[in-house]
Structure 1
Amino acid sequence: MESLLEGLVMAAQLILALSILVGVHEFGHLIAARLFGMRVEQYSIGFPPKIFGFKVGQTEYSLGAIPLGGFVKISGMIDESLDTEGLSEEPKPWEFRSKPAWQRLIVMMGGIIVNVITGILIFVFMTYVNGVSYFPKEEVNKNGIMAYELAQEIGLKTGDKIIKLNGHDYENFSDLRSAEAIFADNGYYTVERNGEIIDIPIPGDLVEKLSEKNVKFIEPLFPFNVNQVAPGSGADKGGLKAGDQILSIAGEPVSFFQELKPILEQYKGQTIDVNVLRDGSSLTLPIKVDVDATLGFSSEMLLASKHQDYTFMQAIPEGVDMAFETVWANAKGLGKIFSGEVSASKSISSPIGIAQMYGGTWDWNRFWYLTGVISMILAFMNFLPIPALDGGHVMFLTYEMISGRAPSDKFLEVAQKAGMVILLSIMVFAIGNDLFKNLF
C-alpha cells in the first residue's frame, strides 16, 4: 500500500511539472503567433483524447488525457498533427506560411524562450527564498572525505582532503560533484593525503557511473554526538543518552558517523559494549543491536555548514548561473554520448525515470528545483535540429532566410514524419530502458 501511495505521489508530481512546463512552452508559441497576426486554432496541454475544452474567439483551449506533452495548432503550419488540408490553396493572410521567415522563426523560438525564462525564474526565486546552504571546503578538510566504492575506483581514499578542482580553488563541497567536475575534459582532483599532494584524474565515464541507482561517491566525514534516543530501543534500554559521544563499538574506535553502519552490520541481534564519553567521563554500556543494524538513536552532525541569503537582485545572477549550468551539463553529456564515452542506456531517462527523481514524498523545494532543471533541459532538447522539434523548424527557417528559398510543403511533411519516427524511437528506447533498470 505504501509503495502504491509513493508511486501515485511520483506520478502526480511528474504530471503537474509537465503540465506547467508544456503549458508555458505552448503559450510561448501562441503569444508569438498572435503577435504577428497568425490564427491559432488549438492550444492543448496533453495529447488526445480530449478530456474537456472551451473556445475563446478562434482558439479552442483543451486538456488532453495523455499528459506527456502538448501542442499549439497554427493555421497554415505543418506540425506534428500532419494536417496538410488546405495547403494546396493560396496562403491566407492569417496563416503561418504567409508570414516572413523571420516572424515564423520567432514563433518557433517562442516556446524555447519561455522555457528558458521559466527555468531562470524558478532558480532565481528559489535562491531568493531559500538562500544557499553548503559545507565549506575549510570545514570539510578538517577531517577529509568519506570515499565510497566508486570514489575508491578512481583513486580517492577515505580521509583525503580535496584542496583543488581542475587546478582551481573551490568553496562549496558540492562543487566536487558539479558539472564542472564530472564533465570537464581532463578533469582532476588535487588531494592532500598523509602530507603528500596527489592529482587524481576524473575519468570521462564517471557521470555514467554516478547515474546508477543508489550509487554513493564522496561526502564529508561527519563527527557526531547522540541527538535523540528512541524510547524502548536497544540504545534506550542500554542507557544511552542525548549528548553522549560514542568512542567505540565492540572495541572498534568510532570517530565519524559513516563508521557506524559497517561495524553494526557485524552484530545484528547481539548485545555489544558501546563506550561513550558523558560529562567528561568514559562509560561502557551494554546495548543490543537491532536486526536492521541500528542502535535506536538519531545523530547530531558536528560539521558546521554555511548559509548565504540573497536579496532579489543578488539572486538574479545566481539563478541565471544555475539555470545555464544545467544547459551546459546537458550539452556536455550529449557530447559524451555521441563520442561513446557514456552509454545512452545509462544516461537517457523516460518519464518513469524522471518521476523517480521527484520521489515518493512531496517536497516542494525538490519539486521546484527539478521542474526548473527540466524546463532548461526541455528548452535545450527542443532546440536540437531534429524535424518535429522546434529546432527542426528553426533549421529549415534559417536555411530559407539564408538561401532565399523555402523547402517545399512536401519536403516539410516528409521531414516531420521522419522526425516523429526518431522521437518515438527515442521514447520507446527510454521507457524500455527504465523498465529494464527497475525490473532487473
Structure 2
Amino acid sequence: MDTLIQIAQILFILSVLVILHEFGHYITARMFKVRVEKFYLFMDAGFSLFKKKINDTEWGIGWLPIGGYVKLSGMMDESMDTEQMAQPAQAWEFRSKPAWQRLIIMLGGITVNIILAFLIYTIMFSTVGQKYASTELSQKKGLMFGESGLNAGFKNGDKILSVDGKVQPKFNRMIIDVLLGDKVEVERDGQKQTLTITDEQKSKILGSEGKGFMMPRLTEIYVDSIVPKSESDKAGLLKGDRIVKANGQSIKFYDELSTTLQAKKSDSIQLTVLRAGKEILVSSKVTPEGKIGFRPASQDKEDFIITNKLSLLQAIPAAVNESYTQFIYNIKQFKLILRPKTEAYKQVMSPIGITQKLPTEWNWEFIWGFTAMFSIGLAFMNLLPIPGLDGGHAIFTIAEMITGKTLSIKAAERVQTVGMIILLSLMALTFGKDIYAIIAKNFF
C-alpha cells in the first residue's frame, strides 16, 4: 500500500508538470497560428493508452511515464519526421514562422514551469505559511555527524556559522550549502574554525549518508524500534527504553553512545536503561561494525520549524525569491555533478528513484511544495543547450537570429539524432541504476 501511494504521488506530480509544460508550447504555438498535430501526456512509443482527435490535434496519453510532448507541424523534433520536412513549407508550419516567434514557442514550456512554481509558492505562503527548519534551533545543542562527516573534519557538537562566508538561516538548505560549498566556518568548544571540504570528501558523503550526514544532536536516547534477531533483541532491550549510561558512564547525546559502540567493536557493552521508572542493566554484544541493532527515536521536527504567516502582498515577492533561489541551487548542483571527483553524477535519480524517496502518506502540502521545486528543476533541465531539449532548439534559433543563417534539414536531422542519443543514454543509465538498486535491496 505504501508503494502504491508513492507511485500515485509521482504520477500526479509528473502529470501536472508535463501537461502544463507542454501546454506552454501548445498555447504559444496556437498564438502564432502553428498547427499542433499531437499533444501527449507521457510517451506513446508503439501505442497509446488513450487518444482522440479534435480538429487538427490528436490528444492522448502514452504508456511510458517519462515525459510528454507536443508535435508541431514543420519542426524537426523527437518524431524525426524527415518526410514532412522534405515537403515545401506551409504557412501553418513552425519552420515558416519568424525566428523570434519560434524562440517564444520553444521557451513556452519553461516559462509555464516558472510561473507554476511562483503560483504554488504564493498560494502556500499566503495560506499554510512559509515553513522551514531553523538553523539556529536545529543546532542549539550542536550537531552530530555520520562517519563520512566526521572523516571530513567535523566533530560532534560543532555548530555551523557560515558556508563560503554566507549565513544560512534554513537548516535543510544549509546542509546542501555544505555539499555545494568549499569553506565551512564552525564553532567548536567556543572557538571558530574553518574547514575545507574537498571533492573526495563530498564523494564519500554523497555515497554514504547523503544529506543525512549531519543532523540535530539527539538528547534523551529512547529506543524507537529493535532490529529482529539483532544483538539488542538478544540482550532484551525494549522499545521505549531510555539509555542513560554506557559501561557506567553517563550518556547525554546519541553520538556519545555511537562513539562508545565504535570503540567496542566485536566486544560487549553494558547499558543502563530507564524502564518504567527503574534503572535496569542490559548487557549486549557489539557487532564488528559497531552496532547493536536498535533505532533511536528522533526528535520532533516540529521543535525546529518556523512558520511565517504572510499576507498575499507579502507572499508574492517571497514566492519570486524562492523560485529564483531554487533555480540558483539547480545551477550549483549541476556544477557539482560536472566535477568528476565528487561522483555526484552517481546520485542523479530517475522518476523510479525519486518515487522511493517520497513519503508513504498522501500529504497535499508536501506534494504541492515538491511540485513547485520539481517544476523549477524541469525548467532548468530544459534550458540546458542539449539538442533535443528546449534549450538546444533555442540556442540554434538564437544563432539564426544573430547570423541570419538557418540549419539545413540534413544538419537539423543530425543534431536531433545526436541529442536523442544523449538523452536516451542518460535515461537508460539513470533508470538502470535505480532499477538495479531496488533489485539489490530486495533480493540480495
1:265-284 superposed matches below 5 A: 273-274=272-273, 284=279
Tell me, yes or no, if the aligned pair for 1:30 and 1:40 is still in contact at 8 Å: yes
Q: CA separation in 1, counterparts of 2:418 and 2:163? A: 44
Q: Would you say 1:17 and 2:13 are equivalent positions? A: yes
Q: CA separation in 2, counterparts of 1:146 and 1:161? A: 9
Unmatched segments (≥5 aa) in structure 1: none
Of 172, 175, 179, the residue aligned with 1:182 is: 179
Measure how far apart 1:146 and its partner are. 0.9
1:61-100 superposed matches below 5 A: 61-100=59-98
Q: Would you say 1:204 and 2:204 are equivalent positions? A: no
Distance 1:43 1:261, change over 3 A: same
Measure how far apart 1:119 and its partner are. 2.5
Distance 1:276 1:352, change over 3 A: closer
Distance 1:241 1:396, change over 3 A: closer
**Count of matched residue positions in the alignment of Structure 1 and Structure 2:** 422
Query: Structure 2 length normalisation: TM-score?
Result: 0.81
Query: Structure 1 length normalisation: TM-score?
Result: 0.82
Distance 1:434 1:306, change over 3 A: closer
Measure how far apart 1:268 and its partner are. 13
Partner of 2:407: 407
Partner of 1:44: 40
Deviations 1:294-314 (A, max 9, x none): 899967669953523232332
Deviations 1:23-77 (A, max 9, x none): 1111000000011111112111011111112233222211111121111111111
Q: CA separation in 2, counterparts of 1:402 and 1:103? A: 15
Measure how far apart 1:293 and its partner are. 6.0
Tell me, yes or no, if the aligned pair for 1:264 and 1:294 is still in contact at 8 Å: no
Measure how far apart 1:287 and its partner are. 7.0
1:340-355 superposed matches below 5 A: 340-343=340-343, 345-355=345-355
1:22-421 superposed matches below 5 A: 22-48=18-44, 49-128=47-126, 129-137=128-136, 139-140=137-138, 142-178=140-176, 180-184=177-181, 187-205=182-200, 207-212=202-207, 214-215=209-210, 216-224=212-220, 247-248=244-245, 251-259=248-256, 273-274=272-273, 284-285=279-280, 304-311=303-310, 312-343=312-343, 345-421=345-421
Letter in 2 for 1:203: T
1:427-438 superposed matches below 5 A: 427-438=427-438
Distance 1:319 1:21, change over 3 A: same
Letter in 2 for 1:431: F
Greater Cα offset, 43-52 or 28-37: 43-52
Tell me, yes or no, if the aligned pair for 2:218 and 2:299 is still in contact at 8 Å: no
Measure how far apart 1:99 and its partner are. 1.0
Tell me, yes or no, if the aligned pair for 2:103 and 2:397 is still in contact at 8 Å: yes
Q: CA separation in 1, counterparts of 2:429 and 2:360? A: 24
Q: CA separation in 1, counterparts of 2:114 and 2:417? A: 27
Tell me, yes or no, if the aligned pair for 1:358 and 1:367 is still in contact at 8 Å: no
Distance 1:337 1:246, change over 3 A: closer
Tell me, yes or no, if the aligned pair for 1:224 and 1:301 is still in contact at 8 Å: no
Tell me, yes or no, if the aligned pair for 1:247 and 1:277 is still in contact at 8 Å: no
Letter in 1 for 2:386: I
Distance 1:321 1:252, change over 3 A: farther
Q: CA separation in 2, counterparts of 1:353 and 1:296? A: 24
Q: CA separation in 2, counterparts of 1:161 and 1:297? A: 22
Tell me, yes or no, if the aligned pair for 2:385 and 2:391 is still in contact at 8 Å: yes
